[in-house]
Amino acid sequence: MKRLILILILALPNMSWNMVWQQNDKDTHVRLKALYVYQFATLVDWPKEFKQGDFFIGVFGESPLYNELSTKYSNKAVGSQSIKIKSFNNYNEISACHILVVTPDNSDKVGDLVKKFKTKSTLIVTEKEGKLRDGSIINFVIKDHKQSYELSKTNASKHKLVIGSKLENLASKVE
């Protein structure tokens, strides 16, 4: 019995440290994704008609990314456009956005979203392997244990979006 108690005493600090480390790691990825989304907003050129009014960033599905974007970037601007953050829980409520982040749980809807926003110049951002093939413009990936993204210039041009060279240079993969 004493041996079991000793093992538990020795194991608990390590278990809690691992949980804290994993949580901080997740928080870091969320913070980086939010920063990337903000950078996407500033480094992509939208058609003239989309440079008026507010600049909308939407998150489709449950994600801590929505809270991070709301907290850190809802008081910022893209040019003269104030950033507004929207959350969408189901496909039918999604309205026009400049940027729409699609969570992994909703990635099966990417093809439908590409069709829905074909004329709206929406930058569709995903978080699941292979989604550039489905029409996503930017896809978050982990490369060499670091948060990164890949992008499709072809998909961007279909939505009349121009990807800045800095954004292109920072991508882990460009199609």
> Who's near 1: CB < 8 A, 6+ residues apart?
none
In three-state secondary structure terms, 154 is: helix
Per-residue pLDDT of 123-163, as tens digits, reads 999 999 889 999 999 999 988 888 889 999 999 999 999 99
Q: Is 148 exposed, middle or buried (0-12, 13-18, 19+ CB in 10 A)?
A: middle
Q: Tell me the CATH number of domain 2-174, given options 3.30.920, 3.30.70, 3.30.160, 3.40.50.
A: 3.40.50
Residue 60 above 70 pLDDT?
yes
- Domain boundaries, given as residue ranges, for the chain: 2-174
C-alpha to C-alpha distance for 96 and 53, rounded to whole angstroms: 13
Whole-number mean pLDDT of the chain? 85
Strand partners, 59: 87, 101
Looking up tokens 């709301």, which residue turns up?
Answer: 70
Give the mean pLDDT of 59-85: 94
Query: What predicted TM-score, i.e. pTM, was given to this entire model?
Result: 0.82
143 sits in which H/E element: strand 138-143
Least confident of 75-79, 87-91, 144-148: 144-148
